[in-house]
Amino acid sequence: MIASVEKIALPGLRDRTVLITGASRGIGRAVAELFARCGAAVAVNGRDSTEVHQFAANLSEQHGVRAFPAVADVTDIAAVREMFAQLQNWSGNRLDVLVCCAGYPLVEELWRMPLHEMREAEIEQWFRQVRAVDLDGNRLCSHHALKIMVPQRRGTLIFVSSTPALSGYHGTPYTEAKAALLGLMRDLALEYGKYGIRVNAVAPGNIASGWYHQLSESQKQELAREAPLQRWGQPEEVAGVILFLASDLAGFITGQTIVVDGGKVRR
């Protein structure tokens, strides 16, 4: 294997085993790339088998690291159970870092529809579907990851929430699920610190991935002006914060939410 991309080094990441959910694109893909550049063994999760296998092969070829295609829908209990069984077989029953990037895609009508205008059937459908990915999927993967990490007495969980979880916005189903995710993060940080396990979250703002590509140029410019830095963030900028949280540099940080939004939300 030939590593053709410049390596980077953060203490405590080389040769660690990392699982990234939602790694096929956007922030998750950027996270997987950076961990691979640090020399970590990377398991990349996604629902599309062809896409995930290709990405894992590319990571291995470009960075000279071990990479595992962890194909599963994070909302499917049986599929997640099988994914972790395969992961443990591949890694020798080891997992150092879990990064949960899988998220429900932007649906325009949900982002703008006030709660009182939704029909009861729509409330049930949309809140359940968004919650299944943005909250339940994270909880399910954490359940299996912690079963590996507790006997190790070390490990790191990192969740991707969002700034609406902190300040509110349009799109109540998204905001509710992402805010609940921060509650899960705080509880796990409190409960599992005694095992040497750290749990944190990042809250990205306007990042140039996913729904960014559905916007018109005028919409992109308008949203860029929301942040004091007057621009959109890049997936790699969120990934860099996640790598810091996973590294030994953040060894005394747990139960925290790091905002990555160009300064719009100030806490």
C-alpha span between 11 and 233 (Å, rounded): 25
**Strand ranges across the sheet with 97-100:** 67-71, 41-46, 17-21, 97-100, 155-160, 197-204, 257-260
Of the candidates 224, 258, 255, the residue with the CA atom closest to the CA atom of residue 240? 258
Identity at 178, one-letter amino acid code: K
User: 96 CB contacts (<8 Å, ≥6 apart)?
Assistant: 16, 17, 18, 149, 152, 154, 155, 156
Tell me the sheet residues that pair with 259.
203
Q: What tokens appear for 139 in the block?
A: 């909880």
Q: What tokens appear for 201 in the block?
A: 């979250």
Polymer length in residues for the chain: 267
Tell me the sheet residues that pair with 233.
207
CB atoms within 10 A of CB 106: 14
104 is catalytic: no
Residue whose tokens read 């005028």: 218
Of 174, 192, 195, 212, the active-site residue reads 174
Kindly state the DSSP code that residue 232 receives in the 8-state scheme: -
Tell me the catalytic residues.
174
